[in-house]
Structure 1
Amino acid sequence: MEFSTLLLIVLTAVVCLYYFVLSKLSYFERLKIPHFRPIPLLGNMAPFILRRVTMADNLLNIYNLFPDTKYFGFFEFMQPIYVIRDPNLINSIAIKNFDYFCDHKGFINEELEPMASRNLFALRGDHWREMRKLLSPSFTSSKMKAMFELMCQCAKNFTDFLIAESGNTGKTYDMEDMMPRYSNDVVATCAFGISVDSFKHPNNEFYLLGKKAMNFASPRVMFAFLMHRNFPKIANFFRIRIFSTEVDKFFKDVVTSTVKARDEQGIVRPDMIQLMMEARNNDHGPIFDIDEMTAQAFVFFLAGFDTVSKAMCFAVHEVAVNPDIQSKLREEIEDVLRETNNKPTYEAINGMKYLDAVVNETLRLYPPAVFADRVCVKEFELPPVTPDEKPITLKPGDNIWFPVYALHHDSQYYSQPKKFDPDRFLNGEVDNSVYLTFGIGPRNCIGNRFALMEAKIMLFYMLWHCNLEPDAKTRNPIVLDKKALAMTSENGFWLKVRARKSSVSTE
């Protein structure tokens, strides 16, 4: 082939690619939907990809450009996203018209990672409905009450460790190292029926594999996640995995051995695996083989290990740097201890209003998910973006985001939104339609009760036995890490822990 011919082919391909990209990025312009001008290939993700801002602030900055619209356009790389900023429209999409938006966008390749791709979050349509119906009883009040003592034992192991190490002089810890150990132990015992103490045995396999699997701050994991969400064909071609085969094998072996032991020894526990075991012979529900059980238990572990532990890191930081809040919270704890004779009950901790407010305010200020997503499954008409425009018809496959972090930091809905103020949850200020930490509608977080109880028990036991104080390494206010996909601190969560000489007996 002559050089001139080859050059012509290359130039033609480049021109075609240019116009293809240009056509994709003019999507919202053609629809007259407000949007911020995207960059070819990177779309509106450029500031985050180039590590100039966090993903949370990236979306918040664009959200703030369009205060008078019901929604605006956003490009996740080349994929157009409708970001809904009007609470009434969010409610309409997520609840009233749920059947039009019942799915999430997948981010795990079914062929490469069959176990991880079968988790509840990724399931669609009727398969999701069947699985949700089956797993929901795992998180009822009665099941939470049954798991309460198991969580308390994990919290006691945690505080015993802190007391023994810190003493009256105190010791500084990075809570980003401590909290995953507690979360690991809670999920291991409540979901898998395995008793683990990650403080006495910090290198146990369950913890090490979990830490490896759930490291969403890792550049490798972040790259794999973004590739599968946005360029699935390329990710599949290069066989890019989010979770290693080692992680797959470990969790499958754990579930297999747990099921076998329970079958042989007649063991019954109030957990997710037990429910799935009992459903194995149900002809009208999903088929439960070991792979299906492993998939559901795995996503439970994923959420409990990483997401909840990060939230608890933010919670203890705010309690430590706000001594008035810590003092008020400890007063409530000591009231409960007196009422229960130093034996806190599920009902007592669940009824603590200020503790509930502290946890909720943490999750408002630092929501685990920057946005919640939905995928349109059948044609739906969005109202005009502004009163002078026309309605927009969404097609199956179109993507919707609810900007959780942006709504939680909007002064229209929260006074002084950057301030940590638990009282806002006690004085009637918070409108539940703009508090989306656990999502909204039928596809909200199935494990929200579990997560809240896990965090509350940890805070209760820590403040019962320890004082939390800022250290020279403590960064306040927190600077969010621009490199991480999950919301976390740029410099860790360094705090000094000091054992208390409390007038309330710890026996």
Structure 2
Amino acid sequence: MGIILGIFVSFIIFCTLAYQWIHKRLRFWSDRGFLQDNPSFPLGNLSCVGTKRTNTENLDYFYKKFKGKTPAVGLYNFLSPVILPIEPELVKNILVRDFNSFHDRGLFYNKEDDPIGANTLTLNGQDWKDRRVKLTPIFTSGKMKLMFELIDSLSDKMVRIIEDQLRNTNDLEMRSWLQRFTIDSIGNVAFGIEPNCLENENSEFGYFGRKLANITLFGIIKFIFGTEWPDFARKLGFGFCPKDVGDFFLKTFIQTIEFREKSNIKRNDFVSLLLGLKNEYTKEELAAEAFIIFFGGFETSSSLMTFLLYELALNPDIQDRLREEIANGIEENDGKLNYDMLLGLKYLDMVVNEGLRKYPPIPTPIRKCTKEYEIPNSNLVIPNGTIVLINAFSLQRDPEYFRDPDKFDPERFNAENIRNIKPFSNIPFGDGPRNCLGMRFGLMQSKLGIAKIVKNFMFQPGTRTQIPLKFNSTSPLLAPEKGMWLKVTRI
């Protein structure tokens, strides 16, 4: 009887202490003078994510609720305190002006068990800085120009395969075709192989690429756990991505570079450029950089092109004007589309920029406070170690900065209007020293893909097109809820 009573008393004490700790934890921000919403146990402020709305839309809800009341609002991912900046000036401070206080991303990686996850996206401090300095020359416009021909041939291949599909139906799910194009494109330049995903949807490279993009709820929980308790997560063997995915990309890259070294093969792609650093980094470290090129450019580029086709289908006047510019540009260039001409298509640039504004491929850039930071003109202090969630989606759809923000209007980015955009209200690739390293490649790939298919096909809403568009609530990036079904007609 005494033992049972002791266990019962211990249980009551444990529950009481746990309740007090959780209660105090969920007052983390209010105790420090920040405005916060009412979090609930155990999800914090994530109760609607994955069911009613995406994480991006969830942050947008709090952005709108607290805008004008505070420069930043305190939120909770489960029991982990995070901060959401609201004012563009504070965003500028975090990304650029006071970068030394926010130089890490706070993303989890495990170099021992998952070497491919330790790359310029996830590395911190001096490790990141040294790697970034070495890799930046790989992404110059001159290097992109060398890769243009390879991507161009794959875009032509996509056009031919879509033409074949139209013999059976003109109702196509375009998101999957654009994903297959970017898998083939980046598989070629980052891993030096032919994934053949355009021809075979079930190719091995395509399978692991889609598995990487389709992050599960358990994967999200592991990521948040790793971000909050990285040392413990490493002891548990957690990695940045599923083990079979990481093993596949690591093995594929190492096989490629070993074959190239043995056969003395030279090619205009990222593999050859990374091989130029083989005396400074291990094969695993180089593979990690090839992996992040793939990870950063596959889903983001296909997502941007997917949403652009949706908007062009709903806005035939914009689509016609874009097609005319592309056709005229090719005709004036002796029937050829090359790198310099692509970058010179001004209306295409405006259309792409408007797509990036309305559907940012990286909707929530993440930073980590690396030393206590006092928010200017306030008595609020962001504690060291705090994860900062910058919701670009909210800023770029704020009517204060973009009138009628839900309207797709490329004229926002014409030569006159672009000068009036408020600084740091439009950050689709982030900003500052840790902005997207592969931005040039992503833009080249997306512009080339859009130029080729818009020149050759007309896009219209079909019977299965979801209007208004809804986002997939379980996706960490913006993705259409029901795919992107469009009526496609050969021109």
TM superposition score category, shorter chain reference: over 0.9
Mapping of residues 128-277 of structure 1, within 5 Å = 128-167=128-167, 171-216=170-215, 218-230=216-228, 243-277=241-275
In structure 2, the residue matched to 1:409 is: 397
Mapping of residues 39-188 of structure 1, within 5 Å = 39-49=40-50, 51-68=51-68, 69-116=70-117, 118-167=118-167, 171-188=170-187
State the alpha-carbon separation in 2 of the partners of residues 160 and 35 from structure 1.
53
Deviation for aligned residue 1:356:
1.0
In structure 1, the residue matched to 2:37 is: 36
Amino acid at match of 1:213: L
Question: Relative to structure 2, which stretch is displaced further, 250-259 or 267-276?
Answer: 267-276
Contact 1:163-1:465 within 8 A present in 2 as well: no
Deviation for aligned residue 1:40:
2.3
Mapping of residues 326-341 of structure 1, within 5 Å = 326-341=319-334
Shift of the 231–131 alpha-carbon distance from structure 1 to 2, 3 Å rule, reads closer
State the alpha-carbon separation in 2 of the partners of residues 7 and 195 from structure 1.
64
In structure 2, the residue matched to 1:284 is: none
Mapping of residues 448-463 of structure 1, within 5 Å = 448-463=439-454
Q: Provide, for residues 300-342 of structure 1, a one-character-per-residue CA deviation record: whole Å limited to 9, x for no partner.
A: 1111222221221111111112111111111111111111122
- 3-state DSSP class of the match of 1:279? coil
Shift of the 334–417 alpha-carbon distance from structure 1 to 2, 3 Å rule, reads same
Contact 1:33-1:72 within 8 A present in 2 as well: yes
Contact 1:138-1:271 within 8 A present in 2 as well: no
State the alpha-carbon separation in 2 of the partners of residues 356 and 29 from structure 1.
44
- 3-state DSSP class of the match of 1:27? coil
Q: Is 1:396 aligned to residue 384 of structure 2?
A: yes
Question: Relative to structure 2, which stretch is displaced further, 32-41 or 412-421?
Answer: 32-41
In structure 2, the residue matched to 1:420 is: 408
Contact 2:83-2:387 within 8 A present in 1 as well: yes
Shift of the 432–354 alpha-carbon distance from structure 1 to 2, 3 Å rule, reads farther
Question: Relative to structure 2, which stretch is displaced further, 372-381 or 5-14?
Answer: 372-381
Deviation for aligned residue 1:52:
2.0
Q: Provide, for residues 339-374 of structure 1, a one-character-per-residue CA deviation record: whole Å limited to 9, x for no partner.
A: 112201111110111111111111111112332121
Q: Provide, for residues 385-439 of structure 1, a one-character-per-residue CA deviation record: whole Å limited to 9, x for no partner.
A: 4xxxx2x333431222222111111111010111111111113353342111100
Contact 1:139-1:446 within 8 A present in 2 as well: yes
State the alpha-carbon separation in 1 of the partners of residues 268 and 132 from structure 2.
17
Shift of the 148–440 alpha-carbon distance from structure 1 to 2, 3 Å rule, reads same
Amino acid at match of 2:351: V
Deviation for aligned residue 1:111:
4.5
Deviation for aligned residue 1:223:
4.1
In structure 2, the residue matched to 1:483 is: 474
Q: Provide, for residues 142-183 of structure 1, a one-character-per-residue CA deviation record: whole Å limited to 9, x for no partner.
A: 01111111111110000011112215x852111221111100
Deviation for aligned residue 1:103:
0.3
- 3-state DSSP class of the match of 2:202? coil
Query: What TM-score do the two structures reach when normalised by structure 2?
Result: 0.94
Deviation for aligned residue 1:245:
3.2
Match of 2:340 among 339, 344, 347: 347
State the alpha-carbon separation in 2 of the partners of residues 98 and 239 from structure 1.
31
State the alpha-carbon separation in 1 of the partners of residues 219 and 376 from structure 2.
38
In structure 2, the residue matched to 1:26 is: 27
Amino acid at match of 2:154: C
State the alpha-carbon separation in 1 of the partners of residues 119 and 35 from structure 2.
35
In structure 2, the residue matched to 1:357 is: 350
In structure 2, the residue matched to 1:5 is: 6
Contact 2:75-2:84 within 8 A present in 1 as well: yes
Query: What TM-score do the two structures reach when normalised by structure 1?
Result: 0.91
State the alpha-carbon separation in 2 of the partners of residues 61 and 257 from structure 1.
47
In structure 2, the residue matched to 1:15 is: 16
State the alpha-carbon separation in 1 of the partners of residues 335 and 480 from structure 2.
35
RMSD: 2.0
**Unaligned segments of structure 1, at least 5 residues:** 282-286, 501-507
Question: Relative to structure 2, which stretch is displaced further, 196-205 or 451-460?
Answer: 196-205
In structure 2, the residue matched to 1:311 is: 304
Contact 1:480-1:488 within 8 A present in 2 as well: yes
- 3-state DSSP class of the match of 2:374? strand
Deviation for aligned residue 1:237:
6.9
State the alpha-carbon separation in 1 of the partners of residues 230 and 282 from structure 2.
27
Amino acid at match of 2:152: C
Match of 1:472 among 460, 463, 470: 463
Identity of aligned residues (%): 30
Deviation for aligned residue 1:8:
1.0
Contact 1:154-1:197 within 8 A present in 2 as well: no
State the alpha-carbon separation in 2 of the partners of residues 483 and 122 from structure 1.
23
Q: Is 1:492 aligned to residue 483 of structure 2?
A: yes
